[in-house]
Structure 1
Amino acid sequence: MNAGISVNLRSPVPPFEQIRAQIASLITVGTLAPGIRLPTVRSLASDLGLAAGTVARAYKELELAGLIETRRRNGTVVAGTPAPPARTDAHGQEAATAEVLAAVDRYIAEGRNAGLDDAALLEILRARQGWSHE
C-alpha cells in the first residue's frame, strides 16, 4: 500500500522531496487524518521501487515538521496539522481555505510530476493572472 504516492524519477525534484510533499499534502487536506498509520519505510520503499533511505529521509523531514510521529510499537502515524485560520470574505462568510489549499497542493504536485521547478510554477501563475515580475 503506497497511500496514492507516486514518484517521477525523471523529475528534477528529488524522490524524497516528492514523497514528503505528497504526504504533507494528504495530511493538509485531511486525506490522511491524525492517528492514521503510514506504511513502514521498507514497505513504502519497496512499493515505490526506491531505497529505504529515500523514504526514511522523507519521513524524517515530515517528523521534523510535526506532521508525523514514530511510535515504537505503533509505527509511524499522522500527528496532524494545525487547521488553517478561518477567513471571511467581504460578506462575512468563511472562505473555502481547505479547498484552495488542496488545489494549490494539486497544482504543485502536477507541476513537479511534469518536471517543473518552483520558479516555473510561479511563472505560470504570474502569467495566468497578469502579475508583474517584482
Structure 2
Amino acid sequence: MTSTNLKITIDVRTGSAAPYEQLRAQIADRARTGKLPAGFKLPTVRGLAEELGLAANTVAKAYRALEADGVIETRGRNGTFVAAAGEGAAREAASAAQAYADRVHRLGLTEAEAVSAAAEALRARYTAR
C-alpha cells in the first residue's frame, strides 16, 4: 500500500513493525530530513486511511504518537501539519533529559554513572533498529 502524496508504503504482510508504527516512522523520518517541510498539510485521518487501505484508528494512533513527539501539530478544523523542524522534539528531549537528571540525582548516581546508563540505553535502542 502506498500514499502517492507522502510516498508512504505500508507492508502489512511482511512488515516487521505494526502498520501504525511503519506510518509513524516514515512520516517522522520525512519530517526530520526535510522531505516533508514544516507547515506541510497532512491528509485527514480518514483520507490517509482510505488511501493506504488501513483502519482510521491505525492512522489516528500514528498521528497521536507523532503529535506527542512534536513532529506534527493539529490546528483544529484547519488540519494537521508538520511542525516546525526540531522545535517540539528539542523541547521534549530537553524535558526528558531534565527528568532523567533529577531521577538519577535522587538515586545517588554519579554524573559518570548517569551518562553511562543513558549511553547504554541509547546504544541498545539504536542498534535494535
Tell me the TM-score normalized by structure 2. Answer: 0.62
**Unmatched 5+ stretches in structure 2:** 88-123
Aligned length: 90
Contact 1:7 1:48 in 2 (8 A): yes
Residue pairs, 1:1-134, within 5 angstroms: 1-10=4-13, 11-82=15-86, 122=127
Identity level (%): 51
More helix by percentage: 2
Post-superposition, which runs of at least 4 consecutive aligned residues in structure 1 deviate over 6 A? none
Alpha carbons of 1:2 and 1:55: their partners in 2 closer, same or farther (altered >3 Å)? farther
Contact 1:62 1:68 in 2 (8 A): yes
Tell me the TM-score normalized by structure 1. Answer: 0.60
Q: Shift of the alpha carbon at 1:82?
A: 1.7
RMSD: 2.6
Q: Shift of the alpha carbon at 1:73?
A: 2.6
CA distance in structure 1 between the aligned counterparts of 2:5 and 2:60, rounded to whole angstroms: 14
Q: Secondary structure at the match of 1:69?
A: strand
Q: Secondary structure at the match of 1:73?
A: helix
Code of the aligned partner of 1:13: A
Alpha carbons of 1:45 and 1:76: their partners in 2 closer, same or farther (altered >3 Å)? same
